[in-house]
Amino acid sequence: MTPLERKTVAYHEAGHAITGWFLEHSNPLLKITIIPRSKGSLGFAQYLPDELSLYTKEALLDMIKVALGGRVAEALFFGKVTTGASDDIKKVTRIAHSLVSVYGMTEEFGLMSYQNSEGAKPYSEYTAQRMDEEVKRIVDNCYKEVEELLEEKKELIEALAERLLEKESINLPEIISVIGDRPFEMKESIRNYLNEMKTRETDAAEKKDTDFDADAEEESSEEQKKESDEKS
């Protein structure tokens, strides 16, 4: 990965993270990394999954917006976009199409199911065209909202991306130290996770100090022994 590609990935992931951070119905962010999970993959953001399997329309729209955040950030900071958002676009299209054809969550189509039955479309080509237009309208509206949000939070995206470039992986406590608390009530599960992470960091710091003191004491003993041997 070239330095420019690495920087692009950092800003892409920061775009996802900041978008979700300021959307009320998105899943809480736990970790961001620009270390590829496998060959050919880019970085990723890890979220705390919802314990429920039921989603509101608002939650589904926020999923679309979070998925668009990486592409918007690329355009905002580099003036061009990359193929890094290909999986995001697939996800966006799938969710938006489900809003229209499966969940009955649009005024245009109402409480109607348009799922394929045994490979055949249970609707006309005219209806299919209208569905495509409605899907595009949903995605375009979400994209515009994310553009406005990330333009407003541009400094936070930059701060988070630069920290990612420095550390490569950052967890929730460090994310909060960079961009501040999320402006929504924290769920108990995420609060417990945060407390656990803080405890781990405290324990690790104490162990590091103990190890340092032990090393220093050992070095001091070795120096004293060496001085004693030289005198004798």
Q: What is the mean pLDDT of residues 28-39?
A: 81
Confidence of residue 69 (pLDDT cuts 50, 70, 90): very high
Q: What is the mean pLDDT of residues 64-88?
A: 94
Confidence of residue 85 (pLDDT cuts 50, 70, 90): confident
Confidence of residue 27 (pLDDT cuts 50, 70, 90): confident
**Tens digit of pLDDT for each residue in 1-15?**
899 999 999 999 999
What's the angle, vertex CA 84, arms to CA 81 and CA 86, rounded to 5? 100
**Tens digit of pLDDT for each residue in 91-132?**
999 999 999 999 999 988 888 878 766 666 778 888 889 999
Contact between 45 and 17 (Cβ < 8 Å) = yes
Supply the residues annotated as catalytic.
13
With left for phi above 0 and alpha for psi between -120 and 50, is residue 140 left, alpha or beta? Answer: alpha
Instruction: Give the full edge-to-edge strand order of the sheet including 44-47.
Output: 44-47, 29-33, 169-171
Contacts of 212 (CB under 8 A, 6+ apart): none
CATH: 2.40.110.10, 3.40.640.10, 1.20.58.760, 1.10.10.10. Which one for 3-84+134-184? 1.20.58.760
